[in-house]
Chains A and B, each alone.
Chain A
Amino acid sequence: RKEVEQDPGPFNVPEGATVAFNCTYSNSASQSFFWYRQDCRKEPKLLMSVYSSGNEDGRFTAQLNRASQYISLLIRDSKLSDSATYLCVVIGPLPTDKLIFGTGTRLQVFP
């Protein structure tokens, strides 16, 4: 079983739609969680961190469910510019400091 699993998509949604991605992780002792965004043929970049209490950044909301070992990302009012691959990232249990990436979920927003 992979350490971090995501639905590869693609998710094809119209502008203005709300879309949600989930990600599951296998190690219950994992310590930190993040969402990264990767545009086609570019390097990944941090989108947001994920906290147990949930966090919001504009149209983006991330949540963590430790009991079920999954992370979610909600995008409201989708824009064409949101089209990208969204990568779920986990830092494993201490003392490791390495980041493990999911395979990514591709989002395509159409007019």
Chain B
Amino acid sequence: NAGVTQTPKFQVLKTGQSMTLQCAQDMNHEYMSWYRQDPGMGLRLIHYSVGAGITDQGEVPNGYNVSRSTTEDFPLRLLSAAPSQTSVYFCASKRTSGSGTGELFFGEGSRLTVL
């Protein structure tokens, strides 16, 4: 049982480049989300999804796109990378019903640097 798997773990981009951060979970969780973590800012929610075909914006969605075509996958796309998007990105998933709906399971994080 792998849990939440994020790739890549490290990436360096040039301003204006695009890329996709991959996230997959094997726990059949309905809810998936992306956060970014910056020093002094904590974890901020970018986008989230409560099921396949359903996505919604979080606190800081600008510059990012998501889609949820399957329960397992929730990729995060950077459309045109900017230095302000240099951050650590975490994907996380959880159940939405039954017990344990407050427990988010996180991937190990993806460290992105935009030059």
| Residues of chain A having any CB pair with chain B under 8 Å | 8, 32, 34, 36, 42-46, 49, 87, 89, 91, 97-104
Contact = CB atoms under 8 A, between A and B. Distances in A.
Given A43-B90, A44-B43, A87-B42, A99 B96 contact: no
A8 B103 CA distance: 23
Interface string B76-106: 0000000000000010001010000111101
B104 A8 contact: no
B106 A97 contact: no
A46 B102 contact: yes
B107 A97 contact: no
A63 B31 CA distance: 27
B106 A44 contact: yes
Interface in B11-61: 31, 33, 35, 40-45, 48, 50, 56, 58-59
Nearest to A102: B42
Contact of B106 (A43, A91, A103): A43
A101 B109 contact: no
A contact face: mostly helix, strand, loop, or mixed: strand
Interface centre among B42, B45, B90 (most CB of A within 10 A): B42
A43 B108 contact: yes
A49 B102 contact: yes
Nearest to B111: A41
A102 B40 CA distance: 10
8 contacts: A42-B108, A42-B109, A44-B43, A91-B102, A97-B48, A99-B104, A100-B45, A103-B40
Nearest to A99: B104
Contacts of A97: 31, 48, 50, 96, 101
A103 B42 contact: yes
B94 to A, nearest CB: 8
A101 B43 contact: yes
A99 B106 contact: no
B81 to A, nearest CB: 22
Contact of A101 (B31, B35, B107): B35
B114 to A, nearest CB: 20
A104 B42 CA distance: 7
